[in-house]
Structure formats: C-alpha cells, structure tokens
Amino acid sequence: MYVADSRAAGTPAPASADGAVRHPAGRRRAAVAPTVLALGTVSLITDVSSEMVTAVLPLYLVAGLGLSPLGFGLLDGVYNGFSAVVRLAGGHLADRGGGRHKWVAGLGYGVSALCKPLLLLAHTLTPIGLILAADRTGKGLRTAPRDALISLSSPPESRGRAFGVHRAMDTAGALLGPLVAFWILRATVDGYDAVFTVSACVAVVGVLVLVLFVPGGRSGAVTAAGLRRPTLRAALALLRTRDLRRITVCAVLLGLATVSDSFVYLLLQRRIGVPDRWFALLPLGTAAAFLLLAVGAGRLADRLGRWRVFLAGHVALLAAYGLLLTSWHGTALPYTVLLLHGAFYAATDGVLMAAASDRVPEGLRSTGLAVVQTGQALARFACSLLFGAAWTVWGDRTALLASAVALGVCAAWCSLTLRPAREAAV
Amino acid sequence: MTFRTRVLVLVAAVAGLAAVALASVLHASARADRRDEVQPGGPRVTAGRVTLTAPGRMVFRNMAWGPHRDELTSVPAADPAAPRTASGVKCLRFHAASGTGVCLQAVHGPVTDTYRAVILDENLHVTRRYDVPGIPSRARVSPSGHYAAWTAFVGGDSYAGTDFSTRAAIADVRTGELIPSLESFRILKDGRAYRAADVNFWGVTFAADDRTFYATLATRGRTHLVRGDLRTRTVTTLRTNVECPSLSPDGTRIAFKKRVPGLPADAPWRLYVLDLRTLRETPLAEPRSVDDQAVWKDTHTLLYALPGDYGADLYELPSDGTGKPRRVSTAAVSPAFLP
C-alpha cells in the first residue's frame, strides 16, 4: 500500500516490557496519517449508509409495512450482552496472527453492507429485527480493530488528533445519511426500496475503500510483539496490567454515571418544553457539536494530556446535568446543554481510545481497546437501566441529581487514580 | 496493485454502484406516475363536496390509486361499494364526530417530513393546527365533537435504534388547549400512584360525557386498559392486555385488540369486546391478527382495517362474537360514520 504507515519502518517504536510505547518525544507531524484519513473516509461512507436506514426505519415500519414498532426494542437488553461478546471476539481475532485488524474490520463492514439489501426482502418484524442485529454485530466486530489500526498508524504524540479527525469524519457521515435518505423519499413514492438499495451501494463503496486504501497485514510497526502470536491467555493477562485495568475501571465507573442520550433529550424536553417538532433534531445538535469539537479536543489531548481532556469532557457532561437541574429557563439553555453534550463526546470518545492505546502493547492492541470499549458500553447500558429505575422511584430530577453526584465522585476518583505519572512525557 | 490501479478499481466500482443506485431511485420515482393512474377494477372516485354532517355517510381515507389517492372521501354507509366522492383533503389518519374532524397529515419539509394534526369543521375547513411529534398512528374525536385525540410513534434516533415510544395527545377543540402527552396525567395503578420513565400511552377513545376517556397504557412490557378523567387529569388502570380500545356508542362495551399467547410475534393480536359492567371478554369471529383501533358503525357492528393490495381494506363484523368478517371497502382506512 502506498499510504505506508506514517511512522514508517525506519523508526519502529520499541514496546517496553509493560507495554507502554516509548517514543522520541517532541516531533510533531504536520499531517494526519493517510491510513487515518482512509479509515475516516470508510467510517464516513459507512455512517451515511447506516444512518440512511436508521432515519427511515420507523417510517418504513409504520407507514411502509403497516407494522406496530412498539416492543421492538425489547431484545435490546439481550443483544447488548451478545454484542459485548462479539466485540471482544473481534478484538481477539484481529490480534491473532500479528495484526489482522484490517481483515476483521473488513468483515465487520462487509456484514453490515450485506444486511442492507436483505432489508429489501424482509417484511415482518422478526426478520427485520434479525437483520438489524446482524448489522450491529458487524459494527461490534469492526470497532476495536478499526481503532487499533488508527492507533497503530499514528505516532503516540498525535494520536489524540488522529482519533479526533476520525470521529469528526464519522459524525459527518452520520449527519449526512438522514439528509440523503429523506431526499430519496422526497424524490420517489414509497421509495424505501430505493433508500435500502442506495444504502447498500454506499456501504459497498465503504468496504472497497477499506480494502483498497487501508494497509493491511503487519505494518512495519507491528514486529516484536506481532511475532509472538497472542493467545487467549495473553489477552486475559492484559487485564492484569495495572495501567489498562485502571483505564478500564475508570471508563466503567464513568460509564455507570453517564445517562444515556435519549434520557438527556427527554429531560431537556421536559425542562424547557422543546416543541415536539424539534425533538427529533436534538441528537443533531449533539452530533454537530461533536463534529466541530472532535479535532480540537484531540489536539488538546495530545498537548495537555489525554486524561486531563477525558476528565474535562466529563466535567462538561456534569455541567450539562447541572444546567438541567437548575431553574434557569433561558433560550440559550438547549443550545448550551447540547454544546456541552457534544463537547463531552468530543473530549471522551476518541480520546479514551488514544489514551488506552498508550497502555496496550501493539500485538494486543485490538483486544485491549475492545476490553475498554466493552466495559464502557456495558456500564452505560447498566446506567440506563438504573437511571430508568431511579426515575420511576424518585422522579426525573432526583434521578439526575443522583447521576450528577455519582459522576462527580467517579470523576474525582479517576482524576486521583489516573494522575498521569507517565503521560507527562508524551 | 499500484495506487493508480486502486483508484481505477474504485472509480469503476463507484460508477457501477452509482448506476444501480440511480436505477433504483428512478424506478421508485416512476411509481408516482403509476399511482396517479386509476387502477383497473378499483373503486370509482370523483371529486365533489364532502361534509361531516351529511347523515348516513361514511367518510374515510381513500387509498385507491388515481388522482384522489389519500384524500378524504365519502360513500353512503349503507352501500360502501358505491362510487366515492373525494374532498381534496389529504390525511394519513382521520376520525370525525358531531361535525368535527381530526386529520393527521404529513408536512413535506425541505429536509424531513414532519406531521401535524388539523381540526376540521363540518365543511372540512381547517380550524386549528397542532404539531405531531412523530408518525401518526391513531385518531379519535369525542362523540360531542369537543375533544380530539391522536397517537404518534416517536423514536429511533440512535444507531440502528430499535426503541420506539408513543405519544398520545388530547386537544380541546373549542379552546384550542392541548395536552401534548398523557404522560403528564397522574397514574393510579392497582390503587396506588405510579410513576415510571417507560410509560407509553396510545389509542384514546372518548365517552359521551366530555370527561371520561379510555386508552392503553404500557409500562414494563405490559399493556393496561386505563380510564382517564379530563377534569382531574388522572388515569386509572382497569385491566391488563388491552390495546387500542374503542368505546361503543352506548358506552357499555370496549372493542380492543388483545395479545393472545401462542401467536407469532409479528401478528400477535385478536379482536375482543369487553363488557364494562361484567368485565367479560368476548372473542370476535375474525381469525386474523388485527392491528387497528376498531370503529363502531352502530351498537352491534364493528369496522376495522386489514392490510390489502392497495394499503388497507375495511372489514365489518358483529360485535357479539358471531358471524363472519365481511370486506366492505377496498383501498380504504380510518372510517368515521356520520349518524
């Protein structure tokens, strides 16, 4: 592949015994690695494809097929557990054989791409549910290897920015998808089949870009660690390394206090009475802020330290909770809350991966990232269950207050635990 | 492969895929022309005057292909197969009583569709407009014509999101006052105040007293029949496994769809009638799964929609469990009877 690893074979970063990658400090790359741009493009295209489907799905079920979509989400709980297993398996598979990240990620993108044309054939809830589950399995499979590729193709000192660029491109795709989908619906009559066909074509382009423009196999960097074929035991031993365990524990603790997006929008709507017409636009506000701030937050993470920015992101979330708890009713409230919510994602999503990458040996990069992601995802799922229960028992304000307190305590604890002794060098 | 080859491969593939994508869009947009042509053998529809006070008429959304697709049309209630008179007013869902109509419409915006509920007077002129937060599902007007209610599906905004919720709203059409969501009502469940984040309401039906209504409340994976009070803003649970209730004109019975164990998840419902005094349930003689809020044609006849060749067809059935379903209208949905 012409877009060789920007770190080039000449300066392989030596992996130390405990897995931390040391690197000649201070040298700053002007550009983001071509691999990162290629992966960002793949994500952008894939997100256009998947968000097209997501955007029209409720309409398709109700208006197109005449189905009642209620109770459709009942399997989400079961599926979350399965998805966690897939994620871990994807991470492990990608590491085996010295870096098959590209091919496992490609498999994940491929599975999701195959699901789109299948939607044309399914006309009842059960098959549609299964197809969506397969789609998400593909997403679970690809996330960790993709993030591993991003981290492996960027020098440690600019990894935050690399992840920031990737997340910004990813979010841009998510914002574009619904626009394309509704444009097609507008241009056609009952054009759900056209939406699914176009979505499938777009997804195939995404897979092609991955196959053609993302370097595969073992890159120059993955050598010393890659030669040793990572075993399941090595993967499990990852959790015994103190650094990764701390990161995972912190991601889990903070995840447990991260109220799920839909609750945030619901609370926002209750507080200020967002007109129903605008309710569906609230997630777009978060996404727009995420898109605009992702690169900046990544750069800041490179400069100030990843943990500082990661925790600052949670402070932004805490501020959003705080605003929702106050009695301030200004017109700026929804904008401010959504800005803070987007800032939270910008400062945490990619930054966490950048931080975790520093702590995982290259040969186990996908596995390590999968462990952190899975821990965080499960914690957030648990939080949404707990929050729902707390809402039932105490009401929305008290439930949010409890979450805010929990978030504050977890953030404080993590800032003490993770005070970066090593990161000062980066 | 050299870089050049890769780019060529990608360009060629994109060109091929773009052709497929374009063809699918063109194919779907050509449907517009086909749907504007009258289907052979379909119901005859002509433009004319439709009012909500003409006695003995049934007004509904016409789904037959042709220039009047999706418009409110009327036929004699005694002869639903007669030629249809189309009003020019397009609705997704509709109901009417005592000269008041509620029509749930799509509004085609520059980016996405939004929805609204419009209140119609007897001449189908719009008197009020309300935003509807999602895809319209059920619509009802109280027997007095003073209140209108509608339900919308809301949700599906996360990645491959599969979690949907419903929002049921009630408007006082005399004052314009809107209750945007029944979730603001106090809930008495099994005699105790109940609060939960996962509460959903749908399928409102009104009694004649301008105060009482019935609806479905769902929480923790179960559905409940609730009786609501518009004055005290309270709903009380009465019974489980009742969806889309429809109160009989004499106020004594409720037709509803019930989840029957052992049926496939895709088609789980059967029609039942509940006697409100004895609380006895009677299964109706419709062997298929019905996903509709039935409409009472009179005190002993029900109408409901089932999927048909052109969207939906209307069927008629006695409310006492006897008889056989009879198709009374093809390509029709959301009927309302003008007494």
Q: Which of residues 264-303 of B touch A (CB under 8 A)?
A: 264-266, 291
**Do the chains contact at B29 and A191, CB–CB below 8 Å?**
yes
Model confidence pLDDT, tens digit, residues A360-386: 888 889 999 999 999 998 898 888 888
CA distance B55 to chain A (A): 31
Nearest CB among B10, B31, B135 relative to A63 is that of: B135
A110 lies in the same domain as A183: yes
Interface test with B, best of A74, A189, A397, A398 (most B CBs within 10 A): A189
Rounded distance, CA A121 to CA A127, Å? 9
CA distance B39 to chain A (A): 16
pLDDT of A384 reads 81
Nearest CA in chain A to B308: A66
Give the helix/strand (H/E) hosting B101. Answer: strand B100-108
B116 lies in the same domain as B12: no
A200 lies in the same domain as A278: no
In which order are the strands placed within the sheet that holds B178-179? Answer: B135-141, B147-155, B164-172, B178-179
B28 lies in the same domain as B118: no
B121 lies in the same domain as B201: yes
A296 lies in the same domain as A198: no
Asked if the structure places residue A160 within a domain, the reply is yes
B100 touches chain A (CB under 8 A): no
Among residues A217, A247, A275, the one where a domain terminates is A217
Nearest CB among B6, B14, B155 relative to A58 is that of: B155
Nearest CB among B29, B131, B291 relative to A276 is that of: B131
Asked if the structure places residue A274 within a domain, the reply is yes
Rounded distance, CA A153 to CA A169, Å? 17
**Which CATH number belongs to the domain containing residue B196 in this structure?**
2.120.10.30
User: What string of pLDDT tens digits covers the 339 residues of chain B?
Assistant: 788 999 999 999 999 999 999 999 999 988 877 877 887 888 999 999 999 999 999 999 999 988 999 999 999 999 999 999 999 999 999 999 999 999 999 888 766 778 999 999 999 999 999 999 888 999 999 999 999 999 998 764 433 344 667 889 999 999 999 999 999 999 999 889 998 877 889 999 999 999 999 999 998 888 999 999 999 999 999 999 999 999 999 999 999 999 999 888 778 899 999 999 999 999 999 999 999 999 999 999 999 999 888 889 999 999 999 999 999 999 999 999 988
- Output the six-digit token pair for A149: 């590729």
Among residues A159, A185, A217, the one where a domain terminates is A217
Nearest CA in chain B to A69: B164
State the residue range of the domain holding A203: 31-217
**Which CATH number belongs to the domain containing residue A278 in this structure?**
1.20.1250.20
Among residues A182, A217, A252, the one where a domain terminates is A217
Total domains in chain B come to 2
B19 lies in the same domain as B61: no
B1 touches chain A (CB under 8 A): yes
Rounded distance, CA B125 to CA B144, Å? 18
- Stretch A387-406: mean pLDDT: 88
DSSP string, A127-170: HHHHHHHHHHHHHHHHHHHHHHHHHHTS-GGGHHHHHHHHHHHH
The conformation of residue A74, written as its DSSP 8-state character, comes to G
For residue B72, report the phi and psi dihedrals to the nearest 5 degrees.
Answer: -70, 130
CA distance A348 to chain B (A): 18
A186 lies in the same domain as A281: no
A183 lies in the same domain as A268: no
Asked if the structure places residue A10 within a domain, the reply is no
ipTM of the complex: 0.80
Nearest CB among B31, B135, B164 relative to A72 is that of: B164
pLDDT of A77 reads 57
pLDDT of B284 reads 97
B133 lies in the same domain as B32: no
State the residue range of the domain holding B30: 1-36
Model confidence pLDDT, tens digit, residues A279-337: 777 888 999 999 999 999 999 999 999 989 999 999 999 999 999 998 887 888 889 99
Average pLDDT of chain A? 83
**Do the chains contact at B160 and A139, CB–CB below 8 Å?**
yes
Helix axes of A34-59 and A192-213: crossing angle, nearest 10 degrees: 170
A87 lies in the same domain as A132: yes
**Do the chains contact at B159 and A184, CB–CB below 8 Å?**
no
- Find all residues with CB under 8 Å of A183, minimum gap 6, and list them: none
Asked if the structure places residue A293 within a domain, the reply is yes
Number of C-beta neighbours around residue B11 at 10 A: 10
Q: Count of CB contacts below 8 A, A vs B?
A: 178
B51 lies in the same domain as B12: no
B120 lies in the same domain as B26: no
A274 lies in the same domain as A317: yes
Total domains in chain A come to 2
- Stretch A404-408: mean pLDDT: 95
Q: Which of B136, B154, B280 is nearest to A280 (CA)?
A: B154
Q: How confident is the model at residue A69 (pLDDT cuts 50, 70, 90)?
A: low
Nearest CB among B166, B197, B291 relative to A392 is that of: B197
- The strand pair at B281-283 and B269-275 is best described as antiparallel
Residue B329: C-alpha distances to residues A36, A247, B6, B91, B335 (Å): 59, 64, 58, 18, 10
SS3 A47: helix
